[in-house]
Amino acid sequence: MNSWNTPGYRGGLPGRRDPVQKRIVAMSIAVSAALLVIVCQLWYLQVLEGGRFQEASDKNRIRIRPIAAPRGILFDRNGLPLVDNRPAFTLSLIPRELERDPDKRDATLGRLAVLLQIPFQELVDAVAKVSSDSFLPVRIRRGLSIADMQKVEEWKLELPGVIVEVEPQRVYPNSRFAAHLLGYVREASDEQLKQGRYRRGDMVGQTGLERLLDEFLRGKDGGERIEVDAMGRPVRLVQSTEPNPGAQVVTTVNRRVQEVAEKLMEGKTGAVVVMDPRNGDVLAMVSTPAFEIDRFTGAIDRDAWLRVMKDPDFPLLNRTIQSQYPPGSVFKMVLTAAGLQEGTLTPADRVHCQGEFPFGGRVFRDWKKEGHGSVDLMGAVAQSCDIFFYGAGLKVGAPAMTKYAAAFGFGIATGIELGTERFGLIPAPKSPRKGKPPVWHPGETVNMSIGQGQLLATPMQIARFMSAIANGGVLWKPRLVQRIERPERGVVWSDAGTVNGHVELNPAVWAFLRQSMWAVVNTTNGTGIAARIPGLDIAGKTGTAQTIANSKSEKGQDHAWFASFAPVRDPEVVIVVLVERGGHGGSVAAPIARAIYNAIFFEKVASLDISG
């Protein structure tokens, strides 16, 4: 440290030092002083306190126990919890505390395997995955039964490095409650660990809102630093940090409506969307069959997983936004709007329907074999007369139809932030040959008029379309989350709703659309009569979408639609029901919607009679 006086320094520098040289000397003195401080610290640590540290090193038995932070709770719009936490036992291994000798370690693991009937290989693999120096617990089984927990405690002395932790775990009102909406929570996968945001064993939202809001819902884990004696018994708590629970989320969902809708869809394959047309709030979102969310969360239940993966009905699919269907006769409302606004249709147009529509060397048929007789536009909507709309479609034309479909949000993402959303499809004109300008095939236009052919939409898109009719043309981005609150900081995020589309129509056209949909439900030969509730003016449209592969098969192979809103004068609720391969929209989907309206407007929770 006294190289200062080496001959090189002064010898190389005859004469006076310039100011910068003085500065460099000052810097070297500062660095020397800093080194001296370090030497003092070393003197303190090694000489003055050395004995104490020697002791600490002799029995270096400081253990770390993480304390998992409870995930934030999701509430419905009325403050009822959609999901909650309860303490659960987790079996963990602490690599650092396992026996260092491989044979002794395997003996411990073998004992544990026999005790709790866990495959031995699983334990070995879990230990092999992490560094043997790690103090962080490796989670083996979550949701341990009390009996198993007691077994481990009894054998504690024979099982060094094995512990039972208490961790908060998700609980749901019932096994499949809002499974697609909430999503399941799982230990971070290897893929997610690579991103570096998570530690091994962290619980991470994998789908639905749990995934979307994971950053908010996950709290900050706390921890304890414990000194233990040679036997591994805790002697002293050195330091402890409380866990910080995650943020609370207030959703737009109405738990009661969600439950009612789920109950009604039990045993059926399909989707229900309940929306507030005034602001795009999603009140309920049901997709069936649902997966057992409680078995998917936390402990990895191999059986439940395999069953779901093998299920031909794809329970993991959120049918409200990830499945697209031909909209069927629901699309007639787009055609009606287009025709009236463009002037190609008038309410006075009248057709005599005999059940057949010969066109282009082909006969297009009505869903009702014998036909509807003489119908005007209002009657055609109410009775869903296909023959009327085949002709109307040709009059209005495919370009106008697709233009209005796009305006009403067909073929475009609704913007809901919940996993990958499908966009649906509006057909485009095709070139007959390469290089020729694209043209519409008239047969396709006829098909499109009743919502068949290539046209596809998700139930969420249909709900948004219905909301636009109900509220006079505003397309809301479906809203799921109202606000996020942290206990100590109040609201940290909120969403006032976003409009992401607008449809301009003549007020008379809006009035006609609503009135004709009212007629669907409230006139004697309307197709949606099954949804009628005396005392509530429901407007709706039925749809029976033929699946392409089964266009000629019997009833029961068609998708049943019912898209509706109420009350018709000042709409508060939009309900869209889709039952896959359910049959007629009027007889299958409409009664489900009716029961949901009943529950919303008349509080008749107990009587869920959907027979009529």
Q: Which is nearer to other proteins, 20 or 147 (CB)?
A: 20
Query: Of 74, 82, 88, 136, which lies in the binding site for other proteins, with binding defined by CB under 8 A?
Result: 136
Q: Would strands 138-144 and 81-93 be described as parallel, antiparallel, or unpaired?
A: antiparallel
Helix axes 442-449, 398-407, angle to 10 degrees: 40
Q: Which is nearer to other proteins, 156 or 194 (CB)?
A: 194
Could you tell me which stretch among 76-84, 237-245, 446-454, 602-610 binds other proteins (CB under 8 A)?
Answer: 237-245
In the bound complex, what is the minimum distance in angstroms from residue 46's beta carbon to other proteins? 4
Dist CA 577 CA 589 (whole Å):
6
Site for other proteins in 104-133 (CB under 8 A): 133
Q: Does residue 154 interact with other proteins by CB under 8 A?
A: no
List Cβ neighbours of 22 (8 Å cut-off, separation of 6 or more): none
Query: Is residue 161 within 8 Å of residue 78, measured between CB atoms?
Result: no
Query: Of 16, 51, 102, 504, which lies in the binding site for other proteins, with binding defined by CB under 8 A?
Result: 51
Q: Which is nearer to other proteins, 18 or 154 (CB)?
A: 18
Spatial CA neighbour of 531 closest among 575, 472, 465, 466: 575
In the bound complex, what is the minimum distance in angstroms from residue 111's beta carbon to other proteins? 25
Dist CA 70 CA 220 (whole Å):
9
Dist CA 140 CA 91 (whole Å):
6
Q: Does residue 494 interact with other proteins by CB under 8 A?
A: no
Q: Does residue 570 interact with other proteins by CB under 8 A?
A: no
Q: Does residue 52 interact with other proteins by CB under 8 A?
A: yes
Task: With CB under 8 A as the rule, give the number of residues binding other proteins.
Answer: 61
Q: Does residue 21 interact with other proteins by CB under 8 A?
A: yes
Q: Which is nearer to other proteins, 197 or 365 (CB)?
A: 197
Site for other proteins in 186-215 (CB under 8 A): 194-197, 199, 215
Dist CA 395 CA 343 (whole Å):
10
Dist CA 328 CA 420 (whole Å):
24
Spatial CA neighbour of 481 closest among 409, 418, 574: 418
In the bound complex, what is the minimum distance in angstroms from residue 54's beta carbon to other proteins? 4
Whether the bond into 289 is cis, omega within 30 of 0: yes
Query: Is residue 296 within 8 Å of residue 305, measured between CB atoms?
Result: yes
Q: Does residue 37 interact with other proteins by CB under 8 A?
A: yes
In the bound complex, what is the minimum distance in angstroms from residue 183's beta carbon to other proteins? 21
In the bound complex, what is the minimum distance in angstroms from residue 25's beta carbon to other proteins? 6
List Cβ neighbours of 110 (8 Å cut-off, separation of 6 or more): 120
Dist CA 489 CA 486 (whole Å):
5
Query: Is residue 223 within 8 Å of residue 66, measured between CB atoms?
Result: yes
- The footprint of other proteins (CB under 8 A) covers 1, 3-4, 6, 8-9, 12-13, 17, 19-21, 23-25, 27-28, 31-32, 34-35, 37-39, 41-43, 45-47, 49-54, 56-58, 60, 62, 64, 66, 133, 135-136, 194-197, 199, 215, 220-225, 239-241
